[in-house]
């Protein structure tokens, strides 16, 4: 099973992915977590991408697609499915993803779009900054991340709506209610 989580920064994708992956035995694939790990390790990729992430911009598609290809090969057979949190982030990544899945005789089963308003996003990111100390969680970088989300990522909403695989959920609800809605969406697949 292939599930994609779509939503702006602060929508709760990571939190919800953690809950859902445990209950549905899915592999949680967060491109953001993998990239942050590369930075921590000071790997070659990590050094290339640090300033991009800290500026709130998107890392190049080539790097991302390579990471996704590796994870698909390793984790598809080991798990009931994979939940993608933070990928794809633009139309080119969505196309690349489709090609990779086709090679593996797979397709996206469901795209869960978490809807949340901007005021709430700012509140949540400020809270997360005090808890996790992420370099890209401050109001200036958030503006850039939101801008990137609107320009690059929101076109995917229409794309997946046309493919009839999009489910939009109210991300303003309590964490547990959002999880319940997500769980139902996955059960309907």
Closer residue to ligand AMP (CB): 159 or 180: 159
Which tokens sit at 9? 């920064």
Distance between first and last Cα of the chain:
9
Does residue 84 belong to the site contacting ligand AMP (CB under 6 A)? no
Closest separation in Å from C-beta 99 to ligand AMP = 15
Q: Which of 11, 19, 53, 82 binds ligand AMP (CB under 6 A)?
A: 53
Give the number of residues in contact with ligand AMP, rule: CB under 6 A: 17
What is the contact mask toward ligand AMP in residues 99 to 138, using x (rule: CB under 6 A)? -------------------------------------x--
Neighbouring residues of 41: CB distance < 8 A, sequence distance ≥ 6: none
- Give the angle subtended at the CA of 52 by the CAs of 46 and 54, to the nearest 5°: 90
Tell me if residue 134 falls in helix, strand or coil. Answer: coil
Closest Cα to residue 62, out of 48, 77, 43? 48
Does residue 64 belong to the site contacting ligand AMP (CB under 6 A)? yes
Closest separation in Å from C-beta 179 to ligand AMP = 19
Contact by Cβ (8 Å): 109, 3: yes
Q: Which of 19, 26, 58, 111 binds ligand AMP (CB under 6 A)?
A: 58
The DSSP 8-state label assigned to residue 150 in this structure reads: I
Using CA atoms, how far apart are residues 143 and 145, in angstroms rounded to an integer? 5
Helices (H), 4-117: 13-24, 31-41, 44-54, 61-75, 91-103
Judged by CB under 6 A, which stretch of 39-47, 57-65, 99-107, 158-166 contacts ligand AMP?
57-65
Closest separation in Å from C-beta 188 to ligand AMP = 25
Where along the sequence are the contacts to ligand AMP (CB under 6 A)? 9, 31-32, 35, 52-53, 56-59, 64, 86-87, 89, 93, 136, 145
């Amino acid at each position: 099973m292939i599930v994609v989580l779509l939503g702006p920064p602060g929508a709760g994708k990571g939190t919800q992915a953690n809950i859902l992956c445990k209950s549905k035995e899915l592999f949680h694939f967060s491109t953001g977590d993998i990239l942050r790990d590369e930075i921590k390790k000071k790997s070659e990729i990590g050094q290339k991408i640090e300033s991009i992430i800290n500026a709130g911009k998107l890392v190049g598609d080539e790097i991302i697609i390579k990471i996704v290809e590796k994870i698909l090969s390793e984790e598809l057979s080991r798990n009931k499915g994979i939940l993608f949190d933070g990928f794809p982030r633009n139309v080119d990544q969505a196309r690349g993803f489709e090609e990779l899945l086709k090679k593996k005789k797979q397709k996206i089963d469901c795209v869960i779009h978490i809807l949340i308003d901007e005021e709430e996003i700012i509140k949540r990111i400020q809270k997360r900054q005090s808890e996790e100390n992420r370099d890209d969680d401050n109001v200036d970088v958030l503006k850039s991340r939101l801008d990137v989300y609107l320009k690059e990522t929101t076109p995917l909403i229409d794309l997946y709506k046309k493919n009839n695989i999009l489910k939009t959920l109210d991300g303003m609800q309590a964490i547990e209610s959002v999880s319940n809605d997500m769980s139902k969406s996955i059960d309907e697949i």
